[in-house]
Amino acid sequence: MSRPAKRLVIVESPAKAKTIAGYLGRDFVVESSIGHIRDLPNRASEIPEKLKKEPWARLGVDVDHDFEPLYVVDADKKQRVNDLKKKLKEVDELLIATDEDREGEAIAWHLLEVLQPKVPVRRMVFHEITKDAIDRALGETREVDQRLVDAQETRRILDRLYGYEVSPVLWKKVMQGLSAGRVQSVAVRLVVERERERRAFVSASYWDLEGVFDPGSFAARLVSLDGKRVAQGRDFGQDGELKPRDAVVLAEAEARELAEQLAGAAYAVRSADEKPYTRRPAAPFMTSTLQQEASRKLRFSAQTTMRVAQRLYENGYITYMRTDSTTLSETALAAARTQAAELYGPESIPSRPRQYTRKVKNAQEAHEAIRPAGDAFRTPKSLGLELNRDEHALYELIWKRTIASQMEDARGLTVSLRFATTTSSGRVAEFGASGTVITFRGFLAAYEESRDEEQPANEQAESEGERPLPHLAVGDELTAIELDSQGHATSPPARYSEASLVQALEERGIGRPSTYASIMGTILERGYVFKRGTALVPAFLAFAVTSLLEQHFAQLVDYDFTARMEDDLDRIATGGEERVAWLK
């Protein structure tokens, strides 16, 4: 009787190998490469003897011969490669199960190049590590996608050329040992430009009146005086000048005098508008929004978020965490809807599943949003004993966001009130208030998206929404219980946090899901930026390097140029552009 075929499965990490091994039978050997096994040389000692005299060897890219890269196996990976070669001799088939993105595809290709297998090879891909997903992947294998490999290789060569071109200039002009990176330098420039804006900012002072009114004990603010709008913070420019010509700026003396004249006055309602209010749930997480929300809600850095998410993925709790898709699979839609109905009642879900599509710039990344793994989601409560504190907090965030994404809109009423009186000196003072009453919580029962704390205080106050107002009709009378004159000053634009910097990069089309966390880590570790609370503050070094790059390498720190380059790399990944022709 012939023995069953023995198969070797190679993944990137030991944790992933352990989880997958638990789902496969005894006929499978699961090993890990522990990340990349080879790369361009970093030191002269890594260059093979026969190539040491070549002028391009130190660069690691033969620019004159179709940008041919020189790859060397890392010294600390040589033993691993030998172990994998030995294992390969004992099996009948090789399955490469690295991640389903550029990096994973490149690792798969490098493994084949180094191991030179004599047995049949298949590439298996999945974006969650569950028994069903692994079984499905075994039945739907494919070849290594050379286009993805080309895209990753082009990116790597480009980064090497960039660094070798720019870094020596930085060493000479600024400081030894500095590095410049294609995306990192642009990220630093964003932080520096924000700091320049803050330094150039001219604060403006303005006063207004705020009061508490009955019936209903609600707060309202002076909105117009003699028919002219009273200026607020948003009406002033960065130069401290008033933008709208028709607004009136109250000085301290005028505001105090007005408050005295209004003491004991009776107010009449001029308008009471009610409009229906609806708020839609946010889409399920992709990499950038997960990093932003974990920063706001959990105080995690981008790197902490990705480290914890990687553990959750590798141990089978969530889907793959590097993605720019907000799509959910049919089974995930069903799971989220079922769970929402069970927890919050059948009325909490709409009649049809909600679909979230976005214009994905790069179709190469994994093709589903980040969500709990499996065809039925495990509740955070049920995982209390399996996960550590950080893992549990991040899983709960992902779970809540996924469930909420399939729930009904929050509904209610937004009320806007305007009421006025005439002062003893004959001036018409009009106050305004608006508030929202939620009549049906919908998705808010499960999850509410956070706002950036960096919003200036004057803008925060103006964006406050959900507060009830009394039902009043035109002509109804009101009295002021309290009335205060208040002084304000406009605030400079807020410094970036990790969350808002990731958002700024993403909005400009710079960087990709797999790179945001490492960009944040690099600019902090290399001393370009430091943290004050959650704010990213540029060091003197950041100003020096950014100024130098702007003067001598303007294109390399140009936002549009960097974004176009990302798009070109994406076209290489989809076969729309040829690698060597593009590099030339």
Phi, psi of 123 (to 5 degrees): -105, 120
Compute the Cα dihedral for 296, 463, 537, 171 and give only its sign: positive
> Are residues 242 and 204 in contact, defined by beta-carbon separation less than 8 angstroms?
yes
- Rounded to whole angstroms, the Cα distance separating 539 from 530 reads 7
Neighbours of 237 (CB within 10 A): 12
Residue 204 CA to chain centroid, in angstroms? 33
Task: Show the tokens assigned to 363.
Answer: 């179709």
> Are residues 361 and 567 in contact, defined by beta-carbon separation less than 8 angstroms?
yes
DSSP class of residue 215? T
Catalytically annotated residue among 162, 206, 277, 320: 320
Cβ contacts of residue 210 below 8 Å, gap of 6+? Answer: 219, 220, 221, 222, 483, 484, 486
Task: Show the tokens assigned to 378.
Answer: 């495990």
> Are residues 416 and 431 in contact, defined by beta-carbon separation less than 8 angstroms?
no
- Rounded to whole angstroms, the Cα distance separating 41 from 55 reads 14
Task: Show the tokens assigned to 11.
Answer: 């993944």
Residue 164 is a catalytic residue: no
- Rounded to whole angstroms, the Cα distance separating 96 from 141 reads 10
Name the nearest CA neighbour of 446 among 374, 377, 396, 390: 396
Residue spans of alpha helices (H) in 315-443: 330-344, 389-405
Quick one: three-class SS letters along 245-312?
CCCECECHHHHHHHHHHCCCCEEEEEEEEEEEEEECCCCCECHHHHHHHHHHHHCCCHHHHHHHHHHH
> Are residues 428 and 229 in contact, defined by beta-carbon separation less than 8 angstroms?
no
> Are residues 320 and 313 in contact, defined by beta-carbon separation less than 8 angstroms?
yes
- Rounded to whole angstroms, the Cα distance separating 191 from 214 reads 47
Residue 99, amino acid: D
Phi, psi of 61 (to 5 degrees): -140, 120
Residues in the chain, overall count: 584
Strand ranges in 378-476 using DSSP code E only, listed in sequence order = 410-422, 428-440
Report CA dihedral (154, 159, 161, 162) to the nearest 10 degrees: 140
- Rounded to whole angstroms, the Cα distance separating 235 from 229 reads 10
- Name the residues annotated as catalytic: 320
